[in-house]
Amino acid sequence: MFKAGRRKNLSDKTFKKGSSFRSLPWIGPASLLIFIFVLWPVVELFLVSFREISVSGLIKGWAGADNYRALLDNSDLSGTLKRTAIWLVVVVALTMALSLPLAQLMNANFRGRRFLRYSVIVPWAASLVITATSWKWILDPYFGIVTRILVDLHITKESVDLLGDPRTSFIVLLAVGITVSLPFTSYVLLAGLQAIPKEIMEASLVDGASSWKGYWAITFPLLRPAFLVAAVINSVYVFNSFPIIWVMTKGGPAYETDTTTTFAYKVAFRDQDIGQSASLAVGNFFVILIFILLFLKLSKWKELDQR
Amino acid sequence: MTITQINKRRKTSRKKRSKNSRVKSVILSLTGITVGFLFIFPYVTMLSTALKPKSDITDMPPTYFPKVYEWVNFIKVFQEIPFGMYMRNTLVISIATMIIGIIVAVPAAYYVARNNFRLRTPFLLLVLITQMFSPTSLLIGIYRELSIFNLVNTYQGLILINVSFNLAFSVWILSSFFRTIPVEIEEAAFIDGASRFQTFRKISLPLAAPGIVTTAIFTFIAAWNEYVVAYTLASSPEKQPFSVGLSLLTGLYEVKWNFLFAGSLIAIIPIIILFISIEKYLVGGLTAGSVK
């Protein structure tokens, strides 16, 4: 039954290697749920993108590439794509740039560190919808506290409508997007910092290197794996981000603040063009797939695979 | 230089240094507390609004703090808006998601942690890849599928979607917990005549309890905060969780901001506390072990 020299352990005694059948009661239910409710929607999405669908949701037949053509002809697509790129690049880049010093601060020793760490957790733990609603209220042109602050600081004399003005609304969304992304990335970097042995950090300071130089020469290279993983996972979150934009501007005024995520939602559930929206969602899916491949490359799943 | 001179010098430099470091630590503290406050600023504003009486909400310009503190708003919220109903729906969905999620994820995680089998690598890949899937990009597929099953606008539909999309994280983090339990402990029980299942139930399960609690809390929070799927699928208020119900209230002609935010705070404060309680394990779980 056992091959000579093979490590004998519990699993070898009870389960023959390779008997997939026996593993089914254990991993079967989980696999089944993932297949039915996570992977089936993917298949359904692809199918729908090639179908002609009535407003009521009935399938009329195959549409070939008509849905994709309709999407490319949509005059709001190019602006949305451009904004999605800006949204992704700006939010992720600034989040990563800011979370380096933030993680450093969270790791430093000072009175009030616990307050800082718990405060940073709040936007991560709290419902994004509620956070976005609160920002919407804060930025309300008449009753919001931001207007009051700007008036008190003599920056403006009358009410400012930052969300209603197409010149500022997207910038405001970017800023809120960054504040809700920062907790995750800085906690990942904090974990990375805590994994660096103290002696190494101290050595870099004692050697007379300025702390700035020491940081880039010693700390950051050690932090790089955590930094990259945080950036990739954060990119997926940011790309998929829906509640912030939806609650604060609904992608408006008009389509001025839409990203592909909110745009796909509008096309499907407001304009009732399921097919066209599905073709956009297929595009979104491929973007996410690229990030997943990056993530697989970065994560050391193969090491974990060999117990 | 005499020895006393040198000593004197040393002393002054030490004094200088300690003074420097005191200044430094005060600056650090001030920076840290200011930054911390920036992060909770929206929630503090929310609290200030929640405590204002109705007449103060529409003050122009708004006041920073309530003139009178209406703590009773936190009770009145249940009468002024259908908050009780939203909370009931949220609780039903999150508790069911948590329980089903654990029941399904624990055996899978345990088996993966302990056994080498042909489907192991494919299963791990499935888990790792779907961990990155979000319902947001798959909404149309989810909507159409649940229409086929007649699960649109039902608790069951929302629960099944929540469970399935969180399984990856649960399996991943649970299996790393099971992996920390020494095999020898299980072998000892096994030699003592316990069956495979008994060993699992009597030995491994209790030892992995912290991991199971962490996973349960995380799944609960994820279902609690879920928005996009519920927003799309739960069309009737009788099925909507607070995230959908409260967000729809902002679209009304007259928004009762004070009650809206009183409800919001009731909905988020317990979650923040739960979240802090599992923070230690989160980073490891969310990065699939690549950082922690």
Is residue A83 a contact partner of residue A257, using CB atoms and an 8 Å limit? yes
C-alpha span between A149 and B201 (Å, rounded)? 59
C-alpha span between A241 and B141 (Å, rounded)? 18
The most confident of A69-73, B4-8, B16-20, B286-290, by mean pLDDT: A69-73
Chain A residues whose beta carbon lies within 8 Å of the beta carbon of residue B129? 292, 296
Is residue B287 scored above 50 in pLDDT? Answer: yes
C-alpha span between A106 and A192 (Å, rounded)? 12
Interface residue A42 vs chain B (CB under 8 A):
yes
pLDDT-based confidence at A258, cuts 50/70/90? very high
- For residue A174, the SS3 value is helix
pLDDT of residue B165: 96
Is residue A301 scored above 70 in pLDDT? Answer: no
Overall average pLDDT of the A156-175 stretch: 90
**Residue A154 DSSP symbol:** T
pLDDT tens track for B15-62: 565 777 888 889 999 999 999 999 999 999 999 999 999 888 888 788
pLDDT tens track for B70-114: 999 999 999 999 999 999 999 999 999 999 999 999 999 999 998
pLDDT of residue A13: 44
C-alpha span between B38 and B271 (Å, rounded)? 20
pLDDT of residue A302: 60
pLDDT of residue A199: 82
A59, β-bridge pairs: A53
pLDDT of residue A19: 60
| Run of H or E residues at A48 | helix A40-49
Matching residue, tokens 């692809």: A46
- For residue A52, the SS3 value is strand
Query: Is B29 in contact with A110 (Cβ distance < 8 A)?
Result: yes
| Run of H or E residues at A66 | helix A66-73
Residue A60 backbone dihedrals phi, psi, to 5 degrees: -95, -25
C-alpha span between B112 and A30 (Å, rounded)? 12
pLDDT of residue B87: 97
Structure tokens at A215: 């940081």
The most confident of A67-71, A164-168, A297-301, by mean pLDDT: A67-71
Chain B residues whose beta carbon lies within 8 Å of the beta carbon of residue A184? 286
Chain A residues whose beta carbon lies within 8 Å of the beta carbon of residue B168? 34
pLDDT tens track for A42-72: 999 999 999 998 877 788 888 888 999 999 9
Question: What predicted TM-score, i.e. pTM, was given to this entire model?
Answer: 0.89
* Interacting residues of B145 by C-beta distance below 8 A, sequence separation 6+: A37, A40, A41, A44
pLDDT of residue A58: 82
Interface residue B23 vs chain A (CB under 8 A):
no
From the list A109, A121, A143, the residue facing B60 with the nearest CB is A143
- CATH code for residues B80-286: 1.10.3720.10
Interface residue A211 vs chain B (CB under 8 A):
no
Is residue A114 scored above 60 in pLDDT? Answer: yes
pLDDT of residue A11: 45
Interface residue B196 vs chain A (CB under 8 A):
yes
C-alpha span between B91 and B143 (Å, rounded)? 22
The nearest CA of chain A is from the CA of B88 a distance in Å of 17
Overall average pLDDT of the B217-225 stretch: 96
Structure tokens at B65: 């703090």
Is A9 or A151 the better-scoring residue by pLDDT? A151
- Here the ipTM equals 0.89
- The CB density around residue A268, as the number of other CB atoms within 10 Å, is 22
Overall average pLDDT of the A232-250 stretch: 94
Closest CA to A227 of A196, A205, A272, A270: A196
C-alpha span between A52 and A192 (Å, rounded)? 50
| B positions 130-189 inside 8 Å of A (CB) | 130, 132-142, 144-145, 147, 160-161, 163-165, 167-168, 171, 176, 179, 183, 186-187
pLDDT of residue A4: 38
DSSP-derived pairing of the beta strands A59-62 and A51-53: antiparallel
Q: What is the dihedral of CA A283, A286, A288, A293, to 10 degrees?
A: -170
From the list B176, B247, B291, the residue facing A133 with the nearest CB is B247
Chain A residues whose beta carbon lies within 8 Å of the beta carbon of residue B190? 10, 13-14
Instruction: List the domains of chain A with CATH numbers.
Output: 18-52+59-64 (no CATH), 77-132+161-257 (1.10.3720.10)
pLDDT of residue A252: 83
* Closest residue, chain A, to B58 (C-alpha): A143
